[in-house]
């Protein structure tokens, strides 16, 4: 299935969020043209490990796309964009707020060339607000939302998240979702629109339960102390006899009772209401 066949996407983004979003569009059939700097292009091309002439990261995120090298600060190069802008359906950019406008490529300008264009901007903190111009990366955005504080280990041994949640779940995926919604709206109205994708804002749904506990129940979560962050023996990583780990998530009572039976847990310990802080270090060594 190629539901986006026939659509043209101009990709001005680099690194991860925008390129992953346009990759999803490309895999759905859209033609994606990546606009890159003449002096080396997307910085991710130079990452390691390598795959042929570029990095593995770049190859994974930009397969199936075409690339055009243009100096956006040069008047003649800028003019070469006009035919593409005139027939494009979607534009994705990932600069700080105001950069595209200074290049003469802001939504107000481009929408006059192409009123049907869906113009998607991906930033850390959105196009407006007190943090709009602040630079950052995934870890910064997760820290701002409080997600890191839910399960960050100790000051002596801090734990970094194993995924780039802000870039992917806060940036790439919401961008694609809103682009598809905008395409549906364009079908109805005939006009495009500007989309403001703020990666930090889009992380708050991941903390829905923590915010709910705090705002509604007055019980603000503590570091590694809640049901799914290490505060319950029902949702833990346990060591095994062969030196490996087992992921156990028997949250429901029936599953918990079955789990306790399987690991031959002492009945005195199986009531976790009396042993809420049972840790992996006190778990039975018989798990296999």
**Which residues form the catalytic set?**
137, 167
Residues 279, 281, 282: CA angle, nearest 5 degrees: 70
Phi–psi pair at 99, nearest 5 degrees:
-65, -50
Distance CA 99, CA 206 (A): 30
User: Among residues 57, 56, 62, which one has the least CA distance to residue 13?
Assistant: 62
Counting every residue, how long is the chain?
288
Residue 53 token pair: 């002439």
The SS3 assignment for 195 reads: strand
Alpha helices in the chain (DSSP H): 17-27, 56-62, 75-87, 99-102, 107-113, 138-145, 147-150, 165-167, 173-189, 208-217, 253-262, 267-270
User: Among residues 196, 194, 231, which one has the least CA distance to residue 210?
Assistant: 231
CA 118 to chain centre: 20
User: Among residues 137, 209, 141, 199, which one has the least CA distance to residue 170?
Assistant: 199
């Amino acid at each position: 299935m190629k539901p986006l066949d026939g659509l043209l996407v101009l990709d001005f983004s680099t690194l991860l969020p925008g390129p992953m979003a346009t990759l999803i569009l490309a895999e759905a059939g859209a033609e994606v043209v990546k606009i890159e700097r003449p002096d080396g292009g997307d910085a991710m091309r130079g990452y390691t490990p390598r795959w042929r002439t570029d990095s593995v990261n770049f190859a994974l995120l930009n397969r199936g796309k075409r690339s055009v090298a243009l100096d956006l600060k040069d008047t003649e190069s800028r003019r070469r964009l006009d035919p593409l802008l005139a027939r494009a359906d979607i534009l994705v950019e990932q600069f700080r707020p105001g950069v595209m406008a200074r290049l003469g490529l802001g939504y107000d300008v481009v929408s006059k060339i192409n009123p049907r264009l869906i113009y998607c901007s991906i930033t850390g903190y959105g196009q407006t607000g007190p943090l709009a111009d602040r630079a950052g990366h995934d870890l910064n955005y997760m820290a701002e939302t409080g997600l890191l504080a839910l399960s960050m280990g100790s000051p002596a041994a801090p734990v970094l998240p194993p995924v780039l949640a802000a870039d992917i779940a806060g940036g790439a995926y919401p961008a694609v979702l809103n682009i598809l919604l905008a395409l549906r709206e364009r079908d109805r109205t005939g006009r495009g629109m500007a989309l403001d994708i703020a990666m930090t804002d889009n992380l708050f749904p991941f903390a829905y339960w923590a915010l709910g506990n705090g705002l509604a129940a007055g019980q603000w979560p503590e570091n590694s102390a809640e049901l799914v962050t290490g505060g319950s023996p029902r949702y833990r990583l346990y060591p095994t006899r062969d030196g490996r780990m087992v992921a156990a998530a028997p949250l429901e009572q029936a599953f918990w009772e079955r789990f306790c039976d399987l690991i031959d847990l002492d009945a005195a310990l199986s009531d976790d209401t009396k042993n809420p802080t049972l840790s992996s270090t006190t778990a039975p060594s018989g798990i296999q």
